[in-house]
Amino acid sequence: MSIITITTDLGYRDPYLAMVKGMLYSKSPDTKIVDLSCNVNPHAHNEGAFALRSALPYFAQDTIHLFAVKFLNSSETIANLSVDNTRYLLTNYKGQYLICPDNGLFTLIDKEFNEPVYQLYFDNEKQHSFYLRDVFLDIAVKLVNKTPLEEFCAVTNEYCKLYAFETFATPGNLQGMVLYEDDFGNLITSITRQEFEKHVGNKRFSIALPANNITKIYTTYDDVKIGDVVCFFNSMDLLEIASLGQSATKIVIKRNVLSKYKIDRIIVDIYD
């Protein structure tokens, strides 16, 4: 049985996702479809990339991942970054297939990405408007059926490369970003346990937020009372800021009005 996952910003209110699944089941009835993350914020392709990157290690070899979240910004920015939302790519990354627009996904998942990349063939421009259904679905079925790659794509060395924000340290602090806000309002940051232990260790520290000042790392949500802010390393070993029983976003993070994707800087001040 083949597995196909979908990561998209289509959501569940409209019929679009059902159209994709219905057509996929009609063409490949034995396929298992997994909604990896289908309610990504509109055009928040960094958010979608984080969800896919986090889930990849848990899927079997030959899983096919359809990533349908476009990168939207000003025309000038898109041109400078070499983003092309009307060009579609395929790669085999660690034994799993990734299909996406040419929007920097591969290097957002892995900054050291160096696998062969293929540009997909498709029939006409009308397929752009619903590329998940009209382009990606057919490619996925071809992969399920073991169709030779040369029949539907060609190797390309030119594709968009975007890179996720990396945590960095100065003599007095450790700086990271909020990578993802889950449905509970928990804020997952780019700061890893390894980075925190290396730069902070047993020193005193503080994370200054608009309504809170964090000075302690806990083990789990249940170490605090309902409504209290808790900071701990989650199952991905990333520093997470949460509030037991409430949304941490509404309590502790001041939204950057210029940040469409809700990403804010997190600074850990370190004291001797």
Q: What is the pLDDT of residue 261?
A: 38
Q: What is the pLDDT of residue 138?
A: 94
Q: What is the pLDDT of residue 228?
A: 83
Does pLDDT of 251 surpass 80?
A: no
* Confidence bin at 197 (pLDDT 50/70/90): very high
C-alpha pair distances (Å), 142 with each of 77, 147, 149, 246: 34, 5, 9, 45
Percentage of the chain beyond pLDDT 70 is: 91
* Confidence bin at 67 (pLDDT 50/70/90): very high
pTM of the model as a whole: 0.87
Q: In the predicted model, what is the mean pLDDT of residues 189-198?
A: 94
Q: 263 exposed, middle or buried (CB, 10 Å; 0-12, 13-18, 19+)?
A: buried
Lowest-pLDDT range of 154-163, 220-229, 260-269 = 260-269
C-alpha pair distances (Å), 58 with each of 8, 40, 61, 99: 19, 20, 10, 18
Q: Which two tokens stand for residue 54?
A: 């986090």
* Confidence bin at 246 (pLDDT 50/70/90): confident
Q: What is the pLDDT of residue 259?
A: 43
Q: What share of the chain is helix, strand, coil (3-state, %, to 5)?
A: 30, 30, 40
Q: In the predicted model, what is the mean pLDDT of residues 214-235?
A: 89
- Residue-wise pLDDT for 112-126, tens only, equals 999 999 999 987 777
* Confidence bin at 152 (pLDDT 50/70/90): very high
Q: What is the pLDDT of residue 76?
A: 58
Mean pLDDT of the chain: 88
Helix (H) or strand (E) holding 51: helix 45-55
Does pLDDT of 256 surpass 50?
A: no
Does pLDDT of 78 surpass 60?
A: no
- Residue-wise pLDDT for 35-55, tens only, equals 999 999 998 889 999 999 999
Measured distance CA(128)–CA(267) in Å, rounded: 41
Q: In the predicted model, what is the mean pLDDT of residues 97-116?
A: 95
Does pLDDT of 255 surpass 70?
A: no
